[in-house]
């Protein structure tokens, strides 16, 4: 079941089209990666979901209902451009922001004490925000984003400013929030984080959606049947040895070990590749080369940009 659905969202600014008929479906209790190059339209879509701006065309559905102002209470939003009041005390500001999100004073204090203890911030409660490091300020803003237990959480570059230890802490919390029932939209340029966290993704480029689906299925669809193998006891050119069912993409010798990348052709199996290699040496390792999300991101955006530029030149 989808918690949020964007149907044919279009948004224009003067002579610029920020979103052009974009539709995405965000499954309930999932982490959904909203990806794309700078200027693709991601932040515009996020602002529309938060009702900061309105679409020129299309609609957003939340829980099957057209998005309205009452839904905002069930959304937590951590924008990429963040800011706290530098002169306010940390606890005072966190309490103020928690009450803005509808929590009573008592509930806000209880929840804030829990989160401040968890993130080792209790000692900073009465200090001014300007005394905190950037990473500590990021922690405060993460806390006030999730404090009211929203059903939909939207994180725009949530790891910006964090060292590896605190980035890992935030990743663990995001996964825990999903496992406890939250649905998360996650926008980042860090493809390693997408690999670790996201269940589904949508890729936007030049105002249009160009890819959407489950991460595992997308990666599987981009596999090219290329395997990396390591062989010892082999002193010939592998490309001159294997038959037409296998294509040697690359081969190098390193410390008397032949490292080769071999593409399987004609729907042959890995077992048949192993049988073809066995007479010529000892196979020490064999691993399928699966494209990373970073590989797919670059390939898809470059392909789409080339297609866009070609079509633009044809219509000029």
**Res. 280: pLDDT tops 90:** no
pLDDT at 212 over 60: yes
Q: State what percent of residues in the chain have pLDDT above 70.
A: 95
Residue 182: is its pLDDT beyond 70? yes
Strand-strand pairing, 183-187 and 31-35: parallel
Computed over every residue of the chain, the mean pLDDT equals: 90
Q: What is the 3-state secondary structure (H, E, C) of the chain?
A: CEEEEEEEEEEEECCEEEEEEEEEEEECCCEEEEECCCCCCHHHHHHHHCCCCCCCEEEEEECCEECCHHHHHHEEEECCCCCCCCCCEHHHHHHHHHHHCCCCHHHHHHHHHHHHHHCCCHHHCCCEHHHCCHHHHHHHHHHHHHCCCCCEEEEECCCCCCCHHHHHHHHHHHHHHHHCCCEEEEECCCHHHHHHHCCEEEEEECCEEEEEEEHHHHHHHCCCCEEEEEEECCCCCHHHCCCCCEEEEEEEEECCEEEEEEEECCCCCHHHHHHHHHHHCEEEEEEECCCCHHHHHHHHHHHHHHHHHHHHHHHC
Please answer whether residues 25 and 185 qualify as being in contact, where contact means their C-beta atoms are separated by less than 8 angstroms. Answer: no
CB 254 within 8 A of CB 285: no
Of 2-16, 163-177, 302-316, where does mean pLDDT reach its minimum?
302-316
pLDDT surpassing 50 at residue 277: yes
Q: Which residue has the higher pLDDT, 157 or 23?
A: 23
Nearest to 226 by CA among 254, 242, 248, 211: 248
- Which pLDDT does position 313 carry in this prediction? 44
The predicted pLDDT at position 316 comes to 44
Architecture (CATH level 2) of domain 224-288? 2-Layer Sandwich (3.30)
Please tell me the least confidently modeled range out of 19-23, 41-45, 199-203, 300-304: 300-304
Partnered with residue 253 across adjacent β-strands are 258
Tell whether the model's pLDDT for residue 315 goes beyond 70: no
Hey, where are the domains in the chain? 2-220, 224-288
**Considering the domain 2-220, what is its CATH architecture?**
3-Layer(aba) Sandwich (3.40)
**174 and 29 Cβ atoms separated by less than 8 Å:** no
Phi, psi at 216, each rounded to 5°: -65, -40
- pTM assigned to the model: 0.85
* CA Rg value for the chain: 25
Query: Which tens digits make up the pLDDT trace of 65-110?
Result: 999 988 988 999 998 776 788 889 999 999 999 998 889 999 999 9
> What is the per-residue pLDDT for 84?
82
What average pLDDT does range 262-284 have in this prediction? 91
The residue assigned the tokens 């602002």 is: 47
Cβ atoms of residues 186 and 20 within 8 Å = no
pLDDT in tens, 289-309: 988 999 999 989 988 776 556
Q: What is the C-alpha separation between 52 and 141, in angstroms, rounded?
A: 19
At residue 311, the pLDDT reads: 57
Whole-Å CA distances, 306 to 40, 62, 90, 194, 302: 15, 35, 49, 25, 6
CB-hemisphere CA count at 13 Å for 259?
5
Assess whether pLDDT exceeds 60 at residue 31. yes
């Amino acid at each position: 079941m989808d918690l949020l659905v964007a149907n044919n969202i279009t948004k224009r600014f003067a002579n610029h089209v920020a979103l052009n008929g974009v539709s995405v479906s965000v499954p309930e209790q999932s982490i959904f990666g909203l990806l794309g190059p700078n200027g693709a339209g991601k932040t515009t879509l996020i602002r529309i979901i938060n009702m900061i701006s309105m679409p020129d065309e299309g609609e957003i559905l939340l829980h099957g209902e057209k998005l309205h102002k009452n839904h905002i209470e069930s959304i937590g939003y951590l924008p990429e451009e963040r800011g706290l009041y530098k002169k306010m005390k940390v606890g005072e500001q966190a309490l103020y922001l928690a009450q803005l999100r509808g929590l009573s004073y008592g509930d806000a204090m209880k929840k804030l004490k829990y989160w401040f203890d968890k993130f080792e911030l209790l000692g900073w409660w009465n200090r001014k925000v300007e005394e905190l490091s950037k990473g500590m300020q990021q922690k405060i803003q993460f806390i006030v984003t999730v404090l009211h237990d929203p059903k939909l959480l939207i994180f725009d570059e949530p790891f910006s400013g964090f060292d590896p230890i605190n980035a890992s802490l935030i990743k663990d919390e995001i996964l825990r929030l999903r496992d406890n029932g939250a649905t998360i939209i996650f926008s980042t340029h860090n493809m390693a984080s997408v690999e670790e966290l996201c269940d589904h993704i949508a890729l936007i480029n030049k105002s249009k959606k160009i890819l959407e689906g489950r991460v595992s299925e997308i990666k599987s669809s981009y596999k090219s049947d290329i395997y990396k193998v390591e062989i010892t006891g082999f002193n010939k050119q592998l490309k001159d040895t294997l038959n037409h069912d296998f294509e040697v993409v690359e081969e190098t010798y390193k410390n008397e070990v032949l490292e080769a990348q071999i593409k399987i052709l004609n729907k042959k199996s890995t077992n048949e590749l192993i049988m073809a290699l066995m007479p010529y040496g000892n196979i020490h390792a064999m691993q399928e080369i699966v494209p990373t999300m970073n590989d797919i991101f670059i390939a898809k955006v470059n392909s789409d940009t080339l297609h866009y530029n070609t079509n633009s030149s044809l219509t000029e």
